[in-house]
Structure 1
Amino acid sequence: MTDAPAATGPVRDRPRSTVDDDRQIRLLLVEDDDGDAVLVSEHLQDAGLDVALTWVRTLDEAVASLDVDCVLLDLGLPDATGIPALERLLAAGAPAVVVLTGQSGGDTGVLAVAAGAQDYLVKDEVDGHRLSRAVRYAVQRRRLEATDRELYRSLVRAEETNRLERALLPTPMIRDERLEVRVGYRAGRDGVLGGDFYDVVERPDGTVLAIVGDVCGHGPDEAALGATLRTAWRTLVLTGTRPADIFGLLEVVLEAERPRPEVFTTVAMFVIPPGRRTADMYLAGHPVPLVLGPPSELPPTTRRGRALGIPVGGTWHAQVLDLGESWRLLMYTDGLLEATVGGGPERLGKAGLLGVVDRVLASETGPRPAADPAGLEDDLVGRVLRDVRALHGGDLVDDAAIVVLGWGE
């Protein structure tokens, strides 16, 4: 690479043309003729265009110098000529390219634009004004194209996130209007959907099954796996699979679909018979749900099972909870437990979560609401999520999902 022509950047006391955001344009000139390179430099000075000009003589040098905003490319170089030179430069990741051609007639310029150049200029016809305008417009068009592409990608990502959310966080399938069902979810700090999922389904005989799960890790692969497991669970429930067999079949799906062999999933599941006085609780390495009060409490756990996907022995058995005539249960993922208190090192933990829940319950007034899957900010689920977030001092580090089931007055 040689030094750029001596005169670069704006000249004093001349009007200065700029791109809209007033940033200096980093310009790469690919030209093997010394005289033409000097003319380009002088034209830029005449136009008062603020540029940082780099001059190279060959295409190989140009390919190694593409950290710029715009390239002025001569199509007659020692190591490449014509449209193939442009195509090679674009394939190497060149930004906006303005072609310089010595041919005033023919289709060279049109072919260059068709191949991906932003514009073309005939050397004998160019002056400072035309060169400045071509460079500024090329840079702006390229930036607009990049913005459009990023916007499109954002829209695609948003739509994909919406599809995953619908798969992870479905509307509960409940016919019994006397049963309270409330659900809620908050994404973690980075806003990327994780692998937390929930579902609630009522079978034709009136039995209600509810699940909350958490795929280890965070990101699109975990979210996709969580959506797959949630869909598989609902399918097993709707096809009448015995509750005792569900976790084993979910593990088969997990092992077949997980992106890496070390990925596991924790799950909690309730099976509530039509009489609504008891519940069978199944735990697969998941935090113990709460029996709400006040005072709320953690039920004794004597039959905990391993997480799904962990290569150790053991299975899953139901622990029967005697609920009585009036009760409420709260299932959750560990994003709530991992919240900090006041931004310090202390974690909220189970005792802290019990305290938050009881404070929210103590402030409840009026009759207990009927089924409402919306997870609004002014209901039990929404207020617990809001209060935990307030204690943490902002968005939670991990995702958090909650399901509340209730019966009676």
Structure 2
Amino acid sequence: MPVPVPRQRGVPAAETAQASPGSSSSSGGGFGMGSNSPSGFGPDSGAPAGPGTGSSTPGGSLGAGSNGGDLTLLVIEDDPAGSFTVPELLDAAGTRVRIRSARNLTEAERLLTDDVHCILVDLALPGSGDEELGPLKHVLRLAPRHAVLALTTSGDLERAAEAVRVGAQDHLFRDELDGRLLSRAVRYAVERKRADRAQVKLAESRLRAQENARLERGLLPTPLLEGSDLRFAARYRPGRSRALLGGDFYDTVRTPDGTVHAMIGDVCGHGPDEAALGVELRIAWRALTFAGLCGDELLSTLQQVLEHERESEEIFATLCTVDIAPDGRRAGLCLAGHPSPLIARHGRAAQLLPYEDSGPALGLLPRARWPRRQVELGAAWSLMMYTDGLIEGRQGPGAKQRLGQDGMVDMINRQLGAGLEGEALLETAVSEVRDLNGGELTDDVAVLLLSRSSSRG
């Protein structure tokens, strides 16, 4: 059963290491560091012996303490004499390693507070059943965010190596230990643990990014046009940095009666919540369309979905829906606060479809209505539906004038005159809008194109 991480708290001075300047090493080769330490280390008489100088991070801190890199070491050793006999070490660079001692795992759990940076575990500790390296594994479970050192004798090389394999940052030999070696080992162990945690966080971040990318790609629509003679093309560019999905959404399906339904919309805002709401509206539109809803009835139901799913009453969405008759020559158009589509008929310049009868955006008025206008398409045509990200870009860096619908119509007519169509037309249009803006567009952009040639009846 996993051991829970203890509640973080401060430790009074009475719970810190017991200083016994005159004590000798234990019979097992203990490490006594009195004022005459062979490495030149000794207690700093001007420094307080109590803890509290380490940084305070819940769950264990690996950061340097408040006194220019001071560290706190919790020693858990099986030595009745108490071989660690000073409250702290001070090296030539001024780094202090404060020592706190525990006689067993139970006492160690009580002393493991948020200012401890490293734990030194005596592998000779009793307890933890018959499990190999039981005390060390207990500490690793108890303090997964702390640096851990294993303490053993030089004659136990295999056990020392196994301690590192199961999770300790390093091992130390009791009979070779001095103050300088201990201070250096603690600092190195803390840095190695910090680097390990950074690597884990980086790997987790990459995995989350990959999962998010797969999820967003899966949420982008796949048009259902089997049996239709219409050609379909689309371009989608989210405004969010490093995102695949924004608040814009679109879809196209063909119902069993041969009617082709197309939709494009825009949820106000650019964050992940808006992207999620856009996906919900798109899926709802597809389901309602296959259920036979159209025009005002469809949009009224979508507004109910929006009102139920949105985070606040300020959230709204614009929408444009088109239902193209099976013969491909006429269509019904509904606008809910959305820019009107652009149509290019054979031999004629592209122009905007009528938009005088448009209704309000979804989510603005509780009992709104959206009239459906009948539009004659003709024998050969291309119908382009888009979100306002395509027309709200600037015409040059720092320019105040936006491209607007008129500028977009002129741009598309130039590109049609150059013989562009389908995917090439949309790719060129989006690229030119970005170039006119002097850089990447800050708003989401979605564009879809449905086309029919005269040779198809």
Q: What is the TM-score when the length of structure 2 is the normalising length? A: 0.68
Contact 1:302–1:319 (8 Å) recurs in 2:
no
Q: What's the secondary structure of 1:387's corresponding residue?
A: helix
* 1:105 equivalent among 119, 124, 128: 124
Contact 1:210–1:270 (8 Å) recurs in 2:
yes
**Equivalent residue for 2:80?**
none
Contact 1:271–1:281 (8 Å) recurs in 2:
yes
Question: 1:56 & 1:352 partners in 2: Cα distance?
Answer: 74
Q: CA, structure 1 residues 58+287, in 2 after alignment: closer, same or farther (shift >3 Å)?
A: farther
**Equivalent residue for 2:109?**
83
| 1:203 and 2:255 are equivalent in the alignment | yes
Q: CA deviation at 1:394?
A: 2.3
Q: CA deviation at 1:139?
A: 1.7
Question: 2:414 & 2:35 partners in 1: Cα distance?
Answer: 77
Q: CA, structure 1 residues 404+43, in 2 after alignment: closer, same or farther (shift >3 Å)?
A: farther
Q: CA, structure 1 residues 111+155, in 2 after alignment: closer, same or farther (shift >3 Å)?
A: closer
Q: CA, structure 1 residues 394+37, in 2 after alignment: closer, same or farther (shift >3 Å)?
A: farther
| 1:245 and 2:271 are equivalent in the alignment | no
Q: CA, structure 1 residues 217+269, in 2 after alignment: closer, same or farther (shift >3 Å)?
A: same
* 2:265 equivalent among 213, 225, 228: 213
CA deviations 1:90-114 (Å, max 9, x no partner) are xx8x7xx32246x673166554333
| 1:230 and 2:282 are equivalent in the alignment | yes
Contact 2:343–2:382 (8 Å) recurs in 1:
yes
| 1:118 and 2:153 are equivalent in the alignment | no
Q: What's the secondary structure of 2:352's corresponding residue?
A: coil
Look at both structures and tell me which one has the larger radius of gyration over its CA atoms. Answer: 2
**Equivalent residue for 2:416?**
361
The 5 A counterparts of 1:5-404 are: 57-64=49-56, 68=63, 71-75=71-75, 77=100, 82-86=108-112, 88-89=113-114, 97-100=117-120, 105-106=124-125, 111-115=138-142, 116=144, 117-120=146-149, 125-129=177-181, 131-167=183-219, 169-188=220-239, 190-192=241-243, 193-292=245-344, 295-311=349-365, 313-344=367-398, 345-364=400-419, 379-404=424-449
Q: CA, structure 1 residues 56+140, in 2 after alignment: closer, same or farther (shift >3 Å)?
A: farther
* Count of equivalent residues: 351
Question: 2:278 & 2:289 partners in 1: Cα distance?
Answer: 16
Q: CA deviation at 1:32?
A: 5.9
Q: CA, structure 1 residues 67+200, in 2 after alignment: closer, same or farther (shift >3 Å)?
A: same
Which shows bigger deviation, 71-80 or 351-360?
71-80
CA deviations 1:149-183 (Å, max 9, x no partner) are 2332332243234323432x311100245212111
Q: CA deviation at 1:43?
A: 8.2
**Equivalent residue for 2:94?**
none
Question: 2:231 & 2:401 partners in 1: Cα distance?
Answer: 33
Question: 1:309 & 1:299 partners in 2: Cα distance?
Answer: 24
RMSD, matched Cα: 3.4
User: Which residue identity lines up with residue 412 of structure 2 in the other structure?
Assistant: V
Which shows bigger deviation, 143-152 or 239-248?
143-152
Q: CA deviation at 1:306?
A: 0.6
Report the identity percentage. 31
**Equivalent residue for 2:29?**
none
Q: What is the TM-score when the length of structure 1 is the normalising length? A: 0.75
Q: CA deviation at 1:384?
A: 1.2
Higher RCO (CA-CA < 8 Å; seq separation 6+): 1
Q: CA deviation at 1:78?
A: 10
Question: 2:54 & 2:182 partners in 1: Cα distance?
Answer: 23
Contact 1:189–1:395 (8 Å) recurs in 2:
no
User: Which residue identity lines up with residue 114 of structure 1 in the other structure?
Assistant: R
Contact 1:72–1:100 (8 Å) recurs in 2:
no
Question: 1:271 & 1:37 partners in 2: Cα distance?
Answer: 89
Question: 2:391 & 2:34 partners in 1: Cα distance?
Answer: 66
Q: CA, structure 1 residues 59+245, in 2 after alignment: closer, same or farther (shift >3 Å)?
A: farther
Question: 2:382 & 2:55 partners in 1: Cα distance?
Answer: 67
Q: What's the secondary structure of 1:301's corresponding residue?
A: coil
Q: CA deviation at 1:184?
A: 1.2
Q: What's the secondary structure of 1:114's corresponding residue?
A: helix
Q: CA deviation at 1:396?
A: 1.1
Contact 2:295–2:370 (8 Å) recurs in 1:
no
Q: What's the secondary structure of 1:274's corresponding residue?
A: coil
